[in-house]
Structure 1
């Protein structure tokens, strides 16, 4: 069997394994006893009509820019990755430093990431203007620029490490590079998931312990009841950037902690904060982060297997002007394929995510036994975060990572009926 055919077989097998794991592990039935879920409640029972109009106006102002930014970024990556232009750029950048392949990869990735970010920067700035206009963003423009610079630097650095490893393997093991790279991609996904809360999160926010008190004690007890004790309860200085409300649980084992936005702490009563935290602890109880990480690792390995079949194809190499998969001129094509693959995987990720979020909602209801607080919390989140309670079906199917507020309220009412003796 040729190396290309072996890579294709591996990609197909890993892809099928991914589909099977998604089908088996996704919680399609989340209510006790597999009870059927009711349709979403009338949005006007969750958010007053005038606030629905405001949320819809906010979404109407932001969605076109978001979609345009997505497509523009993909188009720029396509122009550089599907022609010889990107390869020429990679070579030209490294020429003053001797033109070595390592410099070609590192400088090429940096330039390509910067070009993509600069192309979409005006749309990102417009999005920030919209968030300011509707009172969701509190960031100063210097802080916004700093956040863009830091996120771009992190993106470029992580991408450069991954692509440098791939090209090195392709040069070192011309026949089996894709197998080693697939294993490496899976490992990077796992390591990144573990390091994110302790390395990346502090680059954007400051975290301080929640002072001792009734709420802290209640949240730690909730984690114990959930069977997932946490090391600390922290408060993030989110108000430097936003007025939105949120909380989450991050980390694994000794790094696991509950994180509250300071906006959440300031605006929500304790019982609603407990409901939010109960939802996040529900993710921990069912190992949702670990399951998502393993699915991501499996998907990354399948994608690299597909690269092992595609990149050595003579027609592909001729199109981009590369001699082999180990030629740095292949880098722009790899980045384009990664962007396109991520976009294609988005609706699959989100259909899984919506069901996982619904299961976490049920866990929050079970932990707190307070559906009234859950419903009140969902209403407050929808009002404060300007969530569209009734987005277009196609948009929700493709981009919606969470159920809508009316859907979540309907789930809470279903749970209350099923729990009523």
Structure 2
């Protein structure tokens, strides 16, 4: 059985690397062609940034594979020898802390390189090493407290119930729902500062859009994203009464009010269409399949790894194999997500004006240095958003009519819209 597991994991890694190599080759060719959506220099830089991230991903995949082999051939046995083979909740929590600690130490250099080398050289990272250390310590403390509680509950379920896979699924799904409620108001403020959006025309317009969409939220907040990153973003977070609107301060700096309202209109489209519940349902389906499959593995597999199948080992093995199942599940989730993005674009354009949403998307892709083209197979596999060119064309934008080395007109972009799709001017 262990050989089958290794074979499946090997195929997963090979496919990951193959997709990355295909993406790198595609972008290397496309970045030298006529630029779209941004000036030539920025277009070339965006291509280089995408390639740098993908190359790092390939190295990470190799290390991930070596780490997997170490765990199944020696790591689990080594760790169980340290913490003991007693099937208790305390032993399971210690085992899982050790499992995560090893994985974190091995992958930490990639995170640091990605942030302080790649992101910083391309102008994204704004974090200082001190800020990174402080954030990391906060994350570790949260993990020890919250993760320890979840591990203890899950270990109790695995140890006490015959059909533990069903109980484990229900527990983790409940934790995911609770996390969506707690994250915006209790966890996110630990890392970032959130200040209420000042009274004024922008806030009034946002509140009016929310009323039209039927959204009641805890408030509209500005997050100090610029202290850590220069990317632009906005989101609606939370469930129930904990829902809040969050605007990155970087977004406020780069977009005008009409463009900002169009972006929020897009996000409101996700709320209006119930996309957050759809995403939770897809995640629930994934967890159910994962626990069912890994909950029915033969006990002989653990004997082949030289360990006693305690609750800690069982949970750690599930966590080790989750990326494989996630890789299989990804294309389906990506396909559904891309459909939802088109629908949200349609809603946002109706709420705030199609020309303003197009203008905002053009700024987002340029400021975030998002290379606008992708290998078709890679895109259909990984991308939760449709290619930006396809999104813009669906909104009526004609990229072939624009010289991207000249500044877009400040009065709007109607002259670059497909006339057959041009909305009535207000």
TM-score class, shorter-chain normalisation, is 0.7 to 0.9
Taking a change above 3 Å as real, the CA distance of residues 67 and 402 of structure 1, as seen in their structure-2 partners, is farther
Give the 5 Å matches for 1:5-44.
44=35
Taking a change above 3 Å as real, the CA distance of residues 302 and 154 of structure 1, as seen in their structure-2 partners, is farther
CA drift at 1:50: 2.2
1:66 match: 57
Taking a change above 3 Å as real, the CA distance of residues 78 and 103 of structure 1, as seen in their structure-2 partners, is farther
CA drift at 1:127: 1.0
Give the 5 Å matches for 1:276-295.
276-295=263-282
Give 2:73's match in structure 1, choosing from 71, 83, 92: 83
Taking a change above 3 Å as real, the CA distance of residues 53 and 169 of structure 1, as seen in their structure-2 partners, is same
Taking a change above 3 Å as real, the CA distance of residues 78 and 340 of structure 1, as seen in their structure-2 partners, is farther
CA drift at 1:314: 3.2
Taking a change above 3 Å as real, the CA distance of residues 346 and 160 of structure 1, as seen in their structure-2 partners, is farther
CA drift at 1:257: 1.5
Give the 5 Å matches for 1:236-247.
236-247=223-234
Residue 408, structure 1, aligned to residue 399, structure 2: no
Give the length in aligned residue pairs: 371
1:56 match: 47
Give the 5 Å matches for 1:16-415.
44-73=35-64, 75-80=66-71, 82-93=72-83, 101-128=88-115, 129-155=117-143, 159-173=147-161, 175-310=162-297, 313-324=298-309, 326-368=310-352, 370-413=353-396
Gaps of at least 5 residues in structure 2 are 1-32, 398-416
* TM-score between the two structures when normalised by the length of structure 2: 0.80
Report 1 or 2 for greater relative contact order, CA contacts < 8 Å, sequence distance ≥ 6: 1
Gaps of at least 5 residues in structure 1 are 1-41
SS of 2:246's partner is: strand
SS of 1:215's partner is: helix
Q: Show CA shifts across 1:307-340 (max 9, x none).
A: 2211xx132121233444x453334322212233
CA drift at 1:223: 0.8
Q: 2:354, 2:423 within 8 Å by CA — same for their partners in 1?
A: no
SS of 1:248's partner is: strand
SS of 1:290's partner is: helix
In 2, the alpha carbon distance for the partners of 1:152 and 1:407 equals: 40
Q: Show CA shifts across 1:98-143 (max 9, x none).
A: x673332222211221211221222212211111111111111121
In 2, the alpha carbon distance for the partners of 1:294 and 1:316 equals: 31
1:22 match: none
In 2, the alpha carbon distance for the partners of 1:393 and 1:141 equals: 38
SS of 1:249's partner is: strand
In 2, the alpha carbon distance for the partners of 1:377 and 1:317 equals: 53
Q: 1:186, 1:298 within 8 Å by CA — same for their partners in 2?
A: no
SS of 2:296's partner is: helix
In 2, the alpha carbon distance for the partners of 1:158 and 1:395 equals: 35
Taking a change above 3 Å as real, the CA distance of residues 231 and 196 of structure 1, as seen in their structure-2 partners, is closer
Taking a change above 3 Å as real, the CA distance of residues 293 and 75 of structure 1, as seen in their structure-2 partners, is farther
In 2, the alpha carbon distance for the partners of 1:127 and 1:166 equals: 33
In 2, the alpha carbon distance for the partners of 1:406 and 1:214 equals: 32
SS of 2:295's partner is: helix
Q: 1:43, 1:389 within 8 Å by CA — same for their partners in 2?
A: no
SS of 1:235's partner is: strand
Q: Show CA shifts across 1:351-394 (max 9, x none).
A: 222221221111101111x2211111111111110001112223
2:30 match: none
CA drift at 1:253: 2.9
Taking a change above 3 Å as real, the CA distance of residues 43 and 104 of structure 1, as seen in their structure-2 partners, is farther
Taking a change above 3 Å as real, the CA distance of residues 89 and 45 of structure 1, as seen in their structure-2 partners, is closer
CA-based RMSD: 2.5
